[in-house]
A and B are shown apart, each in its own frame.
Chain A
Amino acid sequence: MLLTDGNFMSRLIVMIAQRLALGVFTMFIVSIVIFAAIEALPGDFAQAILGQGATPEAVAAIRESLGMDRTAVERYFAWLGGAVTGDFGVSFSQLSFQSQYGQTGERDVVTVADQLGPRFANTIFLAATAAAVAVPLSLGLGILAALHRGTVLDRIANIGSLTSISSPEFFVAYLLILFLSAANPIFPSISKIHADLDFWQQVYRTVLPALTLTLVVTAHMMRMTRVAIINLLSSQYIEMARLKGVPRWRIIVHHALPNALAPIINVVALNLAYLVTGVVVVEVVFVYPGVGQLFVDAVKLRDMPTVQACCLIFAAAYILLNLTADVVSVLTNPRLRHPR
C-alpha cells in the first residue's frame, strides 16, 4: 500500500524532527506556566507541610534549607538546569526529610524519578488496559453504527455512549461498584494493586477503573468513527463500488475506512492522552496508586519539583501521542504522503 520512496521518507523524518523540537519548546513553555501557577497559589511548601504548626521560625528554617529564600527566577533556572540534563531533582518533602538527618549522609536519596517511576508504570498499565478495551470497542461500534445507520442498533450505541460520557466519572465509577462489586461481588471495589501481584491479578483488580475509563472515552471515538465513515459513504467512488455489487462490509473496511482513518486516529490519540492525564478522579475512587494521586498530593504541598515532573509527563504524553497520530495519518493518507 505505502509508497516508500526516499524523498517521502526524508520529508517525514524532517517533519518528525520539527515536531519534536516544537514539542520540547512546548514543554519549556508548560514548565514556565506551571511554575508561575504554583508561585501564584497562596502559601508555599514550608507552610503547607507544617500545617497548623507553621510558626514563623519553622517556616523560615524550612525555606532556608530548601533554598526557597532565593528569588523565583533563580529557583526556576536552577530547576531547569537540572531538568535539561535529565535530573528532575529531589522532591521538597524528601529534601526536608533529609535535612533533618543531614549529618549521616548515608541516606538513599529518593529522587522525583524514583517516586514517579512505579506510579507512572501503574498509570500506563491502567491506560493500556482501558485502551485495549476502548479502542477496538469504539471503532467496532462506530463501524456497525455507520453500517446500520438509523436503526435501533445505531440509536442504542449512540444513546448508551452519550449517557456514559455525560455522567461525571465518579458517578459512572460508583454505578459500576454498585452493580459489579456491592450487589454482585464479581470485582473488588478498590484496586490497591502493587508489585507483589501477578499480571492477571493486576488485570483483575484493574477491571473496574479501566471499565469506568472505557465508558468515558468510548463515545467520542465511536461517534467520530461513525461520522467519518458516513461522510464517505455518500461520496462517488463508494457509490461506484456499490453499483459494482461489492458487499457493504467490504466497502466500509476496504474503501471507506482507510480514507476515514486520519480524523479517527486523531481522536483516538486525544483520548489515549486523556487516559494518561485525566484519571485523577478514577484513581481516588478506586484507590489506584497512579501518578494522579501523587500529583494531587504534590500540588497540595506546593512540592514544585514533583508537580513540574508530573506536568512534563502529562505534556509529553499529549505531544507524543499527537505526533504519533499525525505521523500515522500521513502514512495512511496518499494525499498527505504526496502533497502538491
Chain B
Amino acid sequence: MTLKLQRRTVLKAGGATLLATSAFPSFATAQQRGGTLRLGLSGGNSTDSWDGRTHSDVFMQVSAMGGVFDCLTEIAADGSLVGELAESWESTTDLKTWTFNLRKGVEFHNGKSFGADDVIESLQMHVAEGAKSPAKPLVEPVVEMKKMSDHQVQFVLQAGDADFPYQLSDYHILIYPAGMVDDAIRGGIGTGAYRNEGFDPGVRLLLGRNPNAYKEVWFDAVEAISITDPGTRVNALMTGEVDAISRIDAKSVRLLERNPAVEVSEVTGNQHYSFPMITTTAPYDDNNVRLAVKLLFDREEMVRKILLGHGKVGNDHPIGPANRFYAADLEQRTYDPDMAKHLLKKAGVEDLQISLSASDAAFAGAVDAAQLFQQSAQAGGVSVTVVKEPADGYWSNVWMKKPFCACFWSGRATEDQMFSTAYATGKPWNDSYWDHPRFNKLLAEARTELDDSKRRELYREMQVIVRNEGGVAIPMYANWIDAKSKKLAHSPKLGNVWALDSARIMERWWFA
C-alpha cells in the first residue's frame, strides 16, 4: 500500500519547517533563551480542562495548542501551512487518500514516544460515540485511518478535500498519547514545548520548558493567569504584573499607548461581527429585503464608533484578509438608503418593521451597533425595534432562534471550513438557514479542485454569491487587539488566525 501510494502523483508535500520560531532568520533582534513569561489571559473558566474537545477561548487555545500540546499541522504567521507533529504529507490525485509522515524521535512529557497510534487514537476522540467535539465535522469525513508504519499514517476520506491538512491544524485536534488519553487529559501530557507544572482551572497555570522539546522555544517558564475583566487585564499589564494580555477593549488602546513601557499589537484577521437573518421566514425569505437590510448598514460609521477604528469594513461575506482566497477586489458595499428603498418597493414591503435582537454577549458593543443600525435604517423607511436580550443564554435562546440578531465569528483558517460550517445547507451552525444550490455545488467542487487558480475563481464566485444573496449582513471585521510589554519581542509578522499571534505566543515570542 505504501509503495502503491508513492507511485502515484505526489501532489502536495508540506515541508515542515524544522524550527517554527526560526522561520524568520532575517529578523534583526537575535532570539534568546530565558525568562518567565507572565500572561494575563481572557476566556479562562473554572471548568477548563486539557480536553481539546472542550476548548473554545483564548486561555486554553494559548495553553494547550500553543504550549503543552501539538497538532499535526500548524498555520505559520504568514498564513502558510507547516508541519507540527507531521513532517510532510502527500495525497493521491483525487485528494481522497492522504498520507502523513510523522516526526521521529518525539516524546510525550511522560516519556512515551510519539507515533502513528497516537495520531489515530487522538483523531478518533472527535468522532467517538457520544463525543461532543466541535471538530467532529472536520474528522467525520475520514472513513479510514491506517497505520502504515510507526511514523506514517494514511487517511481515506469520503470525498476529496484539498484542504485536509489545513483542517488538522484546528486547535481542538490535539495529539494525545495512545492508551493513556485519560491520564493525558487529567495531567496535561502532550508533546509540546512546555510541560504542565500546575493547573488551577480558571485561576492559574504554570508551565516549564520541556527539556526534550523538538521545537526551539525561548521562555524558561510560563505563568498564565486568568483575568476575566478587561480593565483588570490592562491594569495588570500597566503595573508590570504580567508581560502580555489578550483581548483588550478598543477604548483602552489609547490609554495603553500613553504608557511608554507597553505597546499594542494589533492584526486584522478573519474575526467578523455579523447580523444573521433567518432566510426561511418572512420577510427575510425575499432576497430583496436581505439586500436592502445590508445596504442600510452604515459600515464606515460602525467601524468608527463600535470598533473605534480598530477594524475594517466588511463586505457581507465571511472570508477575511487572513484567508488565502480572499477576494480583495470585490466591490465594497456601502450605505445606500435610496437603493434599499427601491428594493423594498420591489419586494412590496415599503414600510418594513423589523426587530433586531442584540446583547453584548454577541460582541462588545453589539447593542450600540444595533442602535446605530436603527438610526441608519430610518432613511430607508425601515423602522427597527432593538430588542436587548440577556447575555446569559444568548447562544441558546436568541442566536438561530430570533429572525434577526447580532453574532460574531472568529473566522476560520480556510474558506472551506468557514463556508461549510456556517453557509452550507443543513449545517448545524448555518445561522441564516440559507439554502443556495449553486453555492453548495461550488463548495463541493472547490474542495476537490487541485489547481489553485481555479480554486481562487470558485471561491471568488462563492464570496460574490454570499455577498449578494446570502442571509448574513457582515458590516465589519474586528482586529485582534492584544497588548504586551516592550521587553517582549516577536517576529515582524504576527499570526492573525487567533488572538496573541494565533495563540502561539509561548512558542514564537522571546524576551529581548
A52 to B134, CA, bound (A): 10
With A100-B51, A188-B241 in contact, is A194–B232 under 8 Å at CB? Answer: no
With A41-B392, A48-B396 in contact, is A188–B239 under 8 Å at CB? Answer: yes
Residues from chain A with a CB closer than 8 A to the CB of B231 are 174, 285
Question: Do A52 and B399 touch across chains, with their CB atoms under 8 A apart?
Answer: yes
B202 CB within 8 Å of chain A: yes
Question: Do A189 and B392 touch across chains, with their CB atoms under 8 A apart?
Answer: no
Question: Do A289 and B200 touch across chains, with their CB atoms under 8 A apart?
Answer: yes
Annotate A45-67 by CB proximity to B: 1 below 8 A, 0 otherwise: 00111111111001001100000
Residue of B nearest to A43 (CB): B393
Give the shortest distance, in Å, between A323 (CB) and chain B (any CB). 31
- B364-404 contacts to A, CB under 8 A, are 390, 392-393, 395-397, 399
Question: Do B182 and A101 touch across chains, with their CB atoms under 8 A apart?
Answer: yes
Question: Do A190 and B232 touch across chains, with their CB atoms under 8 A apart?
Answer: yes
Residues from chain B with a CB closer than 8 A to the CB of A104 are 182
A189 to B38, CA, bound (A): 14
B131 CB within 8 Å of chain A: yes
Residues of A in contact with B, size category = 35 or more
A294 to B393, CA, bound (A): 18
Give the shortest distance, in Å, between A265 (CB) and chain B (any CB). 35
B429 CB within 8 Å of chain A: yes
Question: Do A115 and B239 touch across chains, with their CB atoms under 8 A apart?
Answer: no
With A190-B227, A294-B46 in contact, is A185–B396 under 8 Å at CB? Answer: no
A129 CB within 8 Å of chain B: no
Question: Do A43 and B397 touch across chains, with their CB atoms under 8 A apart?
Answer: yes
- A244-303 contacts to B, CB under 8 A, are 284-287, 289, 293-294, 297-298, 300-301
A150 CB within 8 Å of chain B: no
A83 CB within 8 Å of chain B: no
Residues from chain A with a CB closer than 8 A to the CB of B456 are none
Residues from chain B with a CB closer than 8 A to the CB of A177 are 235, 239
Most buried by A among B49, B185, B203: B203
Question: Do B186 and A107 touch across chains, with their CB atoms under 8 A apart?
Answer: yes
A287 to B41, CA, bound (A): 11
A48, A174, A284: the one within 8 Å of B393 (CB) = A48
A177 to B428, CA, bound (A): 46
Most buried by A among B45, B53, B181: B45
A205 to B64, CA, bound (A): 29
Question: Do B392 and A61 touch across chains, with their CB atoms under 8 A apart?
Answer: no
With A62-B132, A297-B47 in contact, is A182–B239 under 8 Å at CB? Answer: yes
Residues from chain B with a CB closer than 8 A to the CB of A297 are 45-47, 202
A55 to B229, CA, bound (A): 29
Annotate A215-230 by CB proximity to B: 1 below 8 A, 0 otherwise: 0000000000000000
Residue of A nearest to B409 (CB): A52
Question: Do B235 and A194 touch across chains, with their CB atoms under 8 A apart?
Answer: no
B225 CB within 8 Å of chain A: yes
With A189-B241, A192-B204, A287-B227 in contact, is A43–B392 under 8 Å at CB? Answer: yes
Residue of B nearest to A58 (CB): B132
B204, B238, B240, B395: the one within 8 Å of A54 (CB) = B395
Residues from chain B with a CB closer than 8 A to the CB of A55 are 428
B56 CB within 8 Å of chain A: yes
Give the shortest distance, in Å, between B290 (CB) and chain A (any CB). 22
Residues from chain B with a CB closer than 8 A to the CB of A62 are 132
A111 CB within 8 Å of chain B: no
Give the shortest distance, in Å, between A86 (CB) and chain B (any CB). 22
Question: Do A97 and B49 touch across chains, with their CB atoms under 8 A apart?
Answer: yes
Question: Do A43 and B396 touch across chains, with their CB atoms under 8 A apart?
Answer: yes
Question: Do A42 and B239 touch across chains, with their CB atoms under 8 A apart?
Answer: no
Annotate B132-161 by CB proximity to A: 1 below 8 A, 0 otherwise: 101000000000000000000000000000
With A107-B186, A285-B229, A301-B47 in contact, is A190–B241 under 8 Å at CB? Answer: yes
A47 to B390, CA, bound (A): 14
Most buried by B among A51, A188, A294: A51
Q: Which 6 A-B pairs have the closest CB atoms?
A: A43-B393, A47-B396, A93-B47, A189-B239, A42-B393, A289-B203
A-B contact pairs, 10 of them (CB 8 A): A41-B392, A47-B396, A53-B429, A54-B395, A58-B132, A93-B47, A106-B182, A182-B235, A190-B235, A285-B231
Q: A41-B392, A285-B232 are in contact. List 7 more A-B contacts (CB 8 A).
A: A43-B392, A51-B396, A54-B395, A101-B182, A101-B185, A107-B186, A192-B225
